[in-house]
Homo-oligomer: A and B are copies of this chain.
Amino acid sequence: MTMRFSPLVARIAGEGAAAWALHSRATQAAETDPDVIIMSVGDPDLETPQIVKDAAIRALQENDTHYTTVAGVSPLRVAVARRFSEQTGVPYGLENVMITPGTQSALFFSSMCLAGPGDEILAPEPMYVTYEATVQVTGAKLVRAPQPAENGFRPIEQAMAEAITPKTRVILITTPNNPTGVALTHAELSMIADLAREHDLWVISDEVYGRTLFGREHVSIAALPGMAERTVTVAGLSKSHAMTGWRIGWAIGPRELVAHFDNLALCMLYGLPGFTQTAAVVALADGPDGAWDAADGMRDIYQRRCRLALSALNQISGLSCVEPEGGMFAMMDVRGTGMSAAEFANGLFEAEKVSVLDATAFGPSAQGHVRLSFAIADDRLEEACARIGRFVRGRT
C-alpha cells in the first residue's frame, strides 16, 4: 500500500525529536553499564516523598481505579487553584484549572486551543526542545526572538517587539528557563505583559521550575495587572516533588479556555488515574499530612549541587558556565575548547561516558553551549566534572 500519513507527522518530526538521540543512546548504554553518567535529562535522582507514595498506595488499596472527572478530580483542582491564588493574589477557582498528564501535556492543550494554521506563537530562545513540535502540531508557526548568550540569555524588548506580526496570537515564555536557568524579573515580565496587552495576545507561561529558584522569589506573569484574563500558566509536580513519572501537571487560565480544554480531553485522554491525583493532593498540602515543603528541601539540594558543579567546571580552561537562577540545568559555553557543541557532546560521551545535551537544539542563541543537569547524586556529579576536565584537557 501507499503509506500516506497526515501532514501533521512532518510538523512534529523536527530537531526537537532529534535532540534526544544522544540521550537515548546514553540511557540505553546505562542499562548495562553503571559507569555511564547521564546529565542530559532533568529527571531528579531524588525520590517522591514517602507520604505522597503512601497516598497513592492507599487509594489503590481502596479501589480508586475507576473513571474520574475528565478535567481532574475536584480536590486537586481546588488545591492547585488555592496554591496559585496564594502566589499571585488572583482569585482562581476550580473552573480555572485543568489537570493534565504533566506540564508538557498542559502546553499541548494550551497550544491546541489558542493557535492554528496561519497563526504565530512567539517564544524567546533558547527554549525547551519540545516547544517547536508543541506549537507546530496545531498548524501554527513558531517565531523565535533571540536572547543572546552575550546578554546572559535574557529577553530583549526590541527583539520581541520586532518579532510580533498581525498573525501573532500567543507569547510563550518560561521562567525559570530550561535550558538557561534564567528567572525572569518583575521588570522583564512587565515588558512582556505590556507587549501582550498592546497587541491583544495570550501568554502561555511555563513555570514548571517555579518552585526551584535559588534565593529569589518566583514571579508569575498572571499576577501582573490585567494579565490573568490572557494568561495560561502551566506547571506540575515533576520537578518540585521529584514526580516526573507520575505525569501530573496543570494549566490555569480563564474558565472559558478551561472548558475548551475539557472538550479536548474528552477525545484525547478521558481523565487521569484517581490514585495519582489523590497523591498529588497530598503533595500540595501543608503540614505533617502534606508534602508542600518537600519542594524547598529539593531546591536546596539542586542549589548546592549547582554551586558544586559550577566551581569545578569554571576552573577548567576553555569552559565557562552561566550561573543559573533556578531549575536543575546549567548552560556551559564550550567555544573556548575549539569544539562545536555537537563535537563536545558526542566526544565527551565516547571518551568519558558522560551524556550532556548539545544545546543548539534549544535555539541559535545557544550555539556553542551544552546543557547539563544537576539532577544526579553529589558523588556522580563530582566524578562527571572530573571526567569533563580530563576530556577537555585531552582535546585542547
Chain A contacts to B: CB under 8 angstroms:
1-9, 12-13, 16-17, 20, 41, 43-44, 47-48, 53, 56-57, 60-61, 63-68, 101-102, 104-105, 107-108, 112-117, 119, 130, 133-134, 137-139, 169, 197, 200, 229-230, 242-247, 254, 256-257, 260, 263-264, 266-276
Contacts of A263 in B (CB 8 A): 9, 12-13, 17, 133
Task: Please tell me which one of the listed residues B5, B108, B117, B271 contacts residue A247 in the complex, with CB atoms under 8 A apart.
Answer: B271
14 A-B pairs (CB sep. < 8 Å) = A1-B229, A5-B257, A5-B260, A6-B112, A6-B114, A6-B138, A8-B138, A12-B260, A47-B63, A101-B269, A104-B270, A105-B268, A108-B268, A130-B266
Q: Which residue of B lies closest to A262 (CB)?
A: B17
Number of this chain's copies in the assembly equals 2
How far in angstroms is the closest Cβ of chain B from A119? 7
Residue pair B254, A3 in contact (C-beta under 8 Å) = yes
* A47 CA / B11 CA spacing, docked (Å): 41
Q: Which residue of B lies closest to A137 (CB)?
A: B267
A66 to B53, CA, bound (A): 13
Establish whether residues A67 and B245, one from each chain, have CB atoms under 8 Å apart when the complex forms. yes
**Are A267 and B116 within 8 A (Cβ)?**
no
Q: Please state if A270 and B102 are interface contacts (CB–CB under 8 Å).
A: yes
Q: Is the CB of A247 within 8 A of B260?
A: no
